[in-house]
Structure 1
Amino acid sequence: MIKHIAAAALLSAALLAAACNTVEGAGKDVSSAGKAVSNAADGAK
């Protein structure tokens, strides 16, 4: 029983870590795209 709980806890931790990295990467991509749009708008002035 304890082995099943430990395995579930490890799997959950691995999935959470992967999700955090994915969200962080998506946030960086959106930020980069926003900066590019802002720079283009400044250049068009």
Structure 2
Amino acid sequence: MRIVTTLLLAAMALLAACNTIAGAGEDISKGGQAIHRGAEEAK
């Protein structure tokens, strides 16, 4: 029973990490887009 519990907890941690990394990637992408727009407006 401990093995099953450990595996479930590990799976949940991995899924949470994937969501966090995906969210960070989206935030970085939005930041890059904002910088690009600012550079285009400054031309």
| TM-score, structure 2 normalization | 0.97
Match of 2:18 in 1: 20
Match of 1:33 in 2: 31
Q: How far apart in 2 are the matches of 1:20 and 1:39?
A: 29
Q: How far apart in 1 are the matches of 2:36 and 2:10?
A: 39
Query: Between Structure 1 and Structure 2, how many residues are aligned?
Result: 43
- AA aligned to 2:6 is A
Q: How far apart in 2 are the matches of 1:37 and 1:30?
A: 11
| TM-score, structure 1 normalization | 0.93
Q: Percent identity?
A: 47
Matched, 1:11 2:9: yes
Larger radius of gyration: 1
- AA aligned to 2:19 is N
